[in-house]
Amino acid sequence: MSNSASPPPVPPYTGPGSPQDVPPPPGSFPIDPASLPPPIRDELLAPDPVAIDTSAAELKDGLNRCPKCGATDIKQKPGSDLLICLYCRNEWHAQRVEEEFGLGEGLDQLEGTVIASGARDIAADAASVMTFKCTGCGAEVTVNTENAMTARCHWCRHVFGVNEQVANGAVPDAVLPFHIKKDDAVARIRQFVDKRRMFALKAFKEQFTPENVIGVYLPYMIVDGKASADVSGHGEILTRTYTQGSGDKKKTYYDADVYQVERHVDFTVDDLPLESSSERGNLDTGTNTNNIINTILPFDTKNAVKWNASYLSGFSSEKRDSGVEQLRPRLENQLLSIARAQVEASTSRYDRGVRWEQEGLSVHGTRWVSMYLPVWLYSYHQPGSNGGMLHYIAVNGRTGETMGSVPVQQWKLLLAALTVGSVLETIALMIVGNT
Amino acid sequence: MSDDGGLWLLLLGPAGATGLYWALYRYYRNTDKSHDFEHETAVEAKPVTGSDRKVDEVRGTQETRIDGDNVRAYRKRVTRIRRNSS
């Protein structure tokens, strides 16, 4: 029996399409579109239509009082981070957490684990449903913090927001307000799908209604860290290339010098986002399409403001269920990947590549801030075995970056592939036959 | 044309069909996409240090790259040396 105090190692992520693979450069396509048949080529090369940015969805009233007149009729000014009082038209900006808590400073002096109050561990007995007593009429109003942070009193129409950090982990330290308006998000989703219609599932095309997109605040941990990493392995430098044999037997051979390579790097990372919902953090592309939501990262988290439920009026939200300790293995995994990317440039002389064999990480200090980030989500459920697959098209609520998963009509895709394959095979047979 | 060259050409059809299927499937489903945190996160690194020591020579290999090349596969974890982390 092992007496080791350290936890067992995390099993490696495997499988095709796993997000552990380094993603391809943006906009790249593995086949030259010019070599494809015109209809497919036209779809791939079609320009992105301009996203329409017109009116915004009306936001509901919040509970926060206007600092000038005291009215509670407050909403976010669409397309900005401002809150506006509809009674006196006063506009004000909530305090940015970056300046308020000095989150952008002292990265290279981080020591230990610094956890902001909203990122504390979730109390084991915490309930999702919270009850408030209405100060206007005395009625009891409940808010289900699983998916909402505000609720309206059904008697006197007063709006309640969950504004205090509570033990159930629903209230983060900061919130990044939506900038992209609903119409803009709808246009972006429509243009994304318009470029992927030819082989899309028929039922998906028939039911496609991007107006059903919903704005969701998703929970993230934003982590600053200071770390050191070491990697070691072997690298090869080409010394000679030569051919032996002649005609069909001609073969190329290589000589190389083998080096033992060791690298060390000290670095700090600023605002690394980690999904703090265990469901969203599961990026297994075989069972879900959460990698779509992961892809629209990063956000301009420097502009996040102090928690204020008024920003969440009219939007849905998801609750955090992971604490710092649950997320630490994933942070270390990402820090190791960052270190490997950092040392890559120093191995350029090894023109036959490097095989890293060992790696180590020392995390000197981390700072964790819990944050709600804005995402427009369109979802389509594709029926199938094991409950089918939920396909997402996600729009970053700040930058407008759009990514999605469109279900494919398998027989159409197979038919197109077989047709192109047959044409190529016919050409090959003609060439072989002629020789 | 040699026999080898002819056989290679016959693979064009299956390879083209598989390649197109794979590429279009990826274009629609985007299963290969994820946040490129290695390059999109603000990282400040001190100069990389280390050592290079010649330990062996390879003679007459037909491989164009080192066996197990993972210099760009940042997310493929290798044997982890455990240290005390705070």
Interval A214-270: pLDDT, tens: 999 999 999 999 999 999 999 999 999 999 888 778 889 999 999 999 999 999 999
Q: Average pLDDT, whole number, for chain A?
A: 82
- pLDDT for position A91: 87
Type of residue numbered A434:
N
Is the pLDDT confidence value at A144 over 70?
A: yes
Cβ A270 vs Cβ A301: under 8 Å:
no
B70 in contact with A at a CB cutoff of 8 Å? yes
Task: Find chain B residues with C-beta within 8 A of A340's C-beta.
Answer: 38, 74
pTM of the shown model = 0.81
**Which residues on B lie below 8 Å from A327 (Cβ)?**
none
Q: How many residues does chain A have?
A: 435
Q: How would you classify residue A289: left for phi > 0, otherwise alpha for psi between -120 and 50, otherwise beta? A: alpha
- Please indicate whether, in this complex, the C-beta atoms of A258 and B61 are within 8 angstroms of each other: no
Rounded to the nearest angstrom, the minimum Cα separation between B52 and chain A is 5
Parallel/antiparallel/unpaired status of strands A316-317 and A159-161:
unpaired
Please answer whether residues A166 and A130 qualify as being in contact, where contact means their C-beta atoms are separated by less than 8 angstroms.
yes
For the residues of chain B, what is the DSSP string, one character each?
A: --HHHHHHHHTHHHHHHHHHHHHHHHHHH-TT----HHHHSEEEEPPPEEEEEEEEEEEEE--SS-TT--SS-TTS--EEEP----
Nearest to A23 by CA among B42, B18, B39, B20: B39
B residues 12-51 near A, CB within 8 Å?
12-14, 16-46, 48-51
B51, closest residue in chain A (CA to CA):
A262
**For residue range A40-54, what is the model confidence (pLDDT) as tens digits?**
888 777 765 443 332
Of A87-91, A134-138, A299-303, the least confident: A134-138
Taking CB atoms and an 8 Å limit, are B25 and A408 in contact across chains? Answer: yes
Alpha carbon of B5: minimum distance to chain A alpha carbons (Å): 9
Q: Do the Cβ atoms of A424 and A322 come closer than 8 Å? A: no
CA distance B77 to A120: 29
b/e code A257-286 from CB counts within 10 Å (16+ = b): bbbebbbbbbbbbbbbbbbbbeebbebebe
